[in-house]
Amino acid sequence: MLPPHDRSGGAPLDARTGLPVVAMIGGGQLARMTHQAAIALGQSLRVLATDPGESAALVAADVRLGDHRDLAALREVADGATVLTFDHEHVPTEHLAALEADGVRVAPDPAALVHAQDKLVLRHALARAGEPQPAWAEVTTDTGIADFAGATGWPIVLKPPRGGYDGRGVFVVDDLPEALALLAEHGRLLAEERVPMVRELAVQVARSPFGQVAVWPVVETVQRDGINTEVLAPAPGLDDATATAAQELAIRIAQRLGVVGLLAVELFQTADGVVVNELAMRPHNSGHWTIEGARTSQFEQHLRAVLDYPLGSTAMTAPVVVMANVLGGDAATEDWMGPSLDERLHHLMAHWPDVKLHWYGKGQRRGRKLGHVTALGDDLDEVRARAVAAARYLADGVVDAAFAFPEEH
């Protein structure tokens, strides 16, 4: 028999439940779905949201309102929490350092997180580690840009080091004047070659402070205007060698950077293999399929990892899983005259009784990620058609020709 002791080494536990309290900075859909996972583990996610109408704030029991750039708000939400973690990458590094100095457990810690916050820091780190990435340069001068483009040819890709997501902050630039204008605006840029890619892939891996890692199958991510619209799991037709290499790459990065929690590695597949595009150190859109499609979801796994619990099985629950994002479309506009959201959900359920819905409760706006659907099965074409048609119906109220759909119900 073990003597009674607190395995968390003095980190606070909830007095009522005897279990950890994870605090998450940010109240979006990632926090919303993490709260769902926390409920099963006997926990209740504490959320720092900026507005009571945010996705997670609508459903979590312990919501603190405040700004993630306000150190006082961060200190308040960290007080009594076992560990602090993130729904986004926007918390200033110096605030995280201050919290760590207070004795707060931050996962991932600021030294790791900066690689997901700053694209130049990531490029330098991957270069030191000898990991595959696009040709790149840190440019601060006109000649720096001209030299880089001279070596790779136009177009080139320019990225301000911080602040982008969902395709924002990525500029494909065709000529020098356009490039110089961007440089004048930002002062310092990451320049990258435009990778001749076959498609985009993603690998998700979880790592605990103890050093355990768990990786899910490599997936294909389909983008439209820089925003992820579909995730196909596993990546169709990916050869075993490339799949294993991509998983090993993700594990090496997690270990090298000391990631704690979830790491999503976004990859470009080229004729020669894969190169690293970007990282996220949190649950990520490319992992939503795991809620139904894997024995352990990315949200549960993130909680396990940041709490130093042993990680769960990443085995798939079906041969093929497809996640399709619902981006605000025609039905999200003010002058929409078609079926209401509630009616569209009704139709969705009637037509696809085995498609799983995840609706985030946000206000509807064109282009906004409002929810996602997941379909499972044996045949990629069938499963994908089902997921995409369901998502499209929710977004635009439009029925794909491939699916007969009654006008009335």
Q: Least Å distance between CB 325 and its own copies?
A: 15
Q: Least Å distance between CB 17 and its own copies?
A: 5
Q: By C-beta, is 57 or 137 nearer to its own copies?
A: 57
Total count of residues recorded for the chain: 409
For 60-71, b/e burial (b = at least 16 CB within 10 A) is beebbebebeeb
Q: By C-beta, is 45 or 246 nearer to its own copies?
A: 45
Q: Token match 């001749």: residue?
A: 196
CA distance 25 to 29: 12
Q: Least Å distance between CB 7 and its own copies?
A: 5
Contact 370, 332 (CB under 8 A): yes
Sequence-distant (≥ 6) Cβ neighbours of residue 407 within 8 angstroms: none
Q: By C-beta, is 102 or 343 nearer to its own copies?
A: 343
Specify the pairing of strand 356-359 against strand 219-224.
unpaired
C-beta atoms surrounding 121 within 10 Å: 17
Binding site for its own copies (CB under 8 A): 1-8, 13, 16-20, 32-33, 35-36, 38-44, 53, 57-61, 63, 295-296, 304, 309-313, 315, 317-318, 336-343, 345-346, 349-350, 353-354, 356-361, 363-364, 371, 376, 397, 407-408
Closest by CA position to 46, among listed 14, 88, 15, 72: 14
Mapping DSSP to helix (H, G, I), strand (E, B) and coil, where does residue 314 land?
coil
Q: By C-beta, is 33 or 149 nearer to its own copies?
A: 33
Q: Least Å distance between CB 232 and its own copies?
A: 20
Q: Least Å distance between CB 312 and its own copies?
A: 5
* Tokens matching residue 265: 């590695």
Q: Is residue 131 a known part of a binding site?
A: no
Q: Is residue 69 a known part of a binding site?
A: no
Q: Is residue 195 a known part of a binding site?
A: yes
Q: Least Å distance between CB 38 and its own copies?
A: 8
Q: By C-beta, is 84 or 303 nearer to its own copies?
A: 303
* Tokens matching residue 289: 């399929």
Q: Is residue 192 a known part of a binding site?
A: yes
Sign of CA dihedral 193, 194, 195, 200: positive
Taking the CA atoms of the chain, what radius of gyration do you get in angstroms?
22
Name residue 276's amino acid. V
* Tokens matching residue 268: 């470009």
Q: By C-beta, is 97 or 345 nearer to its own copies?
A: 345
Q: Is residue 362 a known part of a binding site?
A: no
The Cα diameter of the chain in Å comes to 72
Q: By C-beta, is 158 or 305 nearer to its own copies?
A: 305
CA angle 13, 17, 21 (to 5 degrees): 40
Q: Least Å distance between CB 151 and its own copies?
A: 47
Binding-site members for ATP are 119, 159, 192-195, 200, 277-278
Q: Which residues are annotated binding-site positions?
A: 119, 159, 192-195, 200, 277-278
